[in-house]
């Protein structure tokens, strides 16, 4: 195994005082600091009163694939490489996964500096069950793909955590109301650990109406899991597609199934179209 070490370090999600004491030490002693945004890194170093002791390189989603071989070569030579992203833990909906995979394959030691997590904090303050949960990251941007993704999660019994951009929050919550039902409990956690921190709790349809007025800041959404039997979009897809293949019109079938199950006609229609696109070679 190489003497090099890859260190993934969690950074504050808002308040710089939340930084782990080890973070400053790693910034000071690493041979290479790979930062998602070098400007934010400088700001963080200023808050922590530390100067990076090694070379600082940019390492973000647009150059991670290109830069990974060079970073792995540095690790092979024995360098200690520190990876930091803008907030939270690298590789969790942030750059880092490709590098970790390559380092593991090369037999290089990978470790981390634990610290702030928007996922865990949102879970803790949501008021929803936390004994079992799953992290789903960002939902697809396209309506059909988002509907299909949520349809597949309608029967998920665990509490679900999502990240979402503020300008898409209302559409994401509305899609959840269609896929999960309007009364599914949820919480929108905004600007966690920052001055204007806010946690809005309620039925997902109610939260969608609130978000339609406009929301700013970093967003984490927590949604309760399904309880008991659920009739969801995913469970109806095979039947709908079979009827369409037999000659019925898709719109008519979706309207009939929606009337029978209480599911959204649009959600059913979008999910069928998304399934067709996914099957194309």
Band (pLDDT 50/70/90 cuts) for residue 233 is confident
Band (pLDDT 50/70/90 cuts) for residue 6 is very high
pLDDT averaged over the chain? 93
Band (pLDDT 50/70/90 cuts) for residue 75 is very high
Cα gap 163→204, rounded to integer Å: 15
Range of the domain at 141: 119-223
Which strands form 55-58's sheet, in the order they lie side by side? Answer: 55-58, 32-35, 80-84, 5-9, 109-113
The answer on 124 and 112 residing in a single domain is no
Cα gap 50→165, rounded to integer Å: 31
Residue 136 lies in a domain: yes
According to DSSP, residue 263 is labeled -
Residue 175 lies in a domain: yes
pLDDT of 2 strictly over 80: no
By DSSP bridging, strand 5-9 and strand 109-113 are parallel
147 alpha-carbon distance from chain centroid: 16
Q: How far is CA 51 from CA 8, 47, 208, 215, in A?
A: 18, 11, 44, 36
Q: Which pLDDT belongs to residue 229? A: 57
Neighbours of 245 (CB within 10 A): 8
Does the model's pTM come out above 0.85?
no
Output the six-digit token pair for 49. 């009163």
Q: How many CA atoms are closer than 13 Å to the CA of 178, on its beta-carbon side?
A: 25
Percentage above 90 pLDDT, the chain: 80
Place of tokens 């993934």: 8
Band (pLDDT 50/70/90 cuts) for residue 225 is very high
The answer on 240 and 219 residing in a single domain is no
Q: Which pLDDT belongs to residue 227? A: 85
Residue 254 lies in a domain: yes
Q: Which pLDDT belongs to residue 1? A: 57
Contacts (Cβ under 8 Å, ≥6 apart) of 23: 9, 10, 11, 48, 113, 115
The answer on 38 and 61 residing in a single domain is yes
19 alpha-carbon distance from chain centroid: 21
The answer on 96 and 20 residing in a single domain is yes
The answer on 107 and 13 residing in a single domain is yes
Band (pLDDT 50/70/90 cuts) for residue 23 is very high
Last residue in a domain, options 116, 138, 162: 116
Please tell me the total count of domains within the chain.
3
Q: Which pLDDT belongs to residue 257? A: 87
Name the residue among 167, 16, 180, 186 with its Cα closest to residue 84: 16
Cα gap 178→21, rounded to integer Å: 45
The answer on 260 and 219 residing in a single domain is no
Name the residue among 82, 74, 240 with its Cα closest to residue 151: 240
Residue 30 lies in a domain: yes
Cα gap 52→9, rounded to integer Å: 14
- Cβ(88)–Cβ(94) below 8 Å: yes
Strand partners, 8: 83, 112
The answer on 134 and 112 residing in a single domain is no
pLDDT of 93 strictly over 90: no
Longest dimension (CA), the chain: 70
Q: Could you read off the pLDDT of 149-208 as tens digits, one per residue?
A: 998 898 899 999 999 999 999 999 999 999 899 999 999 999 999 999 999 999 999 999
């Amino acid at each position: 195994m190489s003497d090099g070490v890859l260190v993934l370090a969690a950074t504050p999600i808002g308040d710089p005082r939340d930084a782990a004491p080890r973070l400053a030490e790693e910034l000071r002693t690493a041979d290479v600091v790979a930062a998602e945004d070098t400007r934010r890194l400088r700001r963080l170093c200023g808050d922590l009163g530390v100067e990076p002791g090694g070379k600082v390189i940019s390492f973000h989603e647009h150059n991670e694939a290109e830069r990974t071989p060079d970073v792995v070569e540095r690790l092979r030579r024995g360098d200690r490489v520190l990876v930091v992203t803008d907030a939270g833990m690298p590789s969790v909906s942030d750059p880092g996964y490709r590098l970790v995979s390559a380092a593991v394959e090369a037999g290089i030691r990978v470790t981390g500096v634990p610290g702030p997590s928007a996922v865990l904090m949102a879970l803790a303050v949501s008021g929803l069950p936390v004994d079992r949960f799953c992290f789903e990251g960002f939902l697809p941007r396209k309506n059909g793909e988002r509907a299909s993704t949520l349809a597949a999660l309608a029967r998920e019994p665990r509490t679900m955590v999502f990240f979402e951009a503020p300008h898409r929050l209302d559409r994401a919550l509305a899609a959840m109301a269609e896929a999960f039902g309007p009364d599914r409990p949820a919480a929108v956690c905004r600007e966690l650990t920052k001055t204007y921190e806010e946690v809005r709790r309620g039925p997902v349809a109610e939260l969608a109406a609130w978000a339609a007025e406009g929301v700013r800041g970093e967003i984490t959404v927590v949604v309760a899991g399904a309880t008991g039997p659920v009739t969801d979009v995913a469970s109806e897809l095979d039947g709908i597609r079979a009827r369409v293949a037999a000659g019925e019109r898709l719109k008519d079938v979706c309207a009939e199934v929606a009337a029978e199950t209480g599911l959204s006609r649009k959600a059913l229609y979008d999910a069928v179209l998304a399934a067709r696109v996914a099957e194309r070679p």
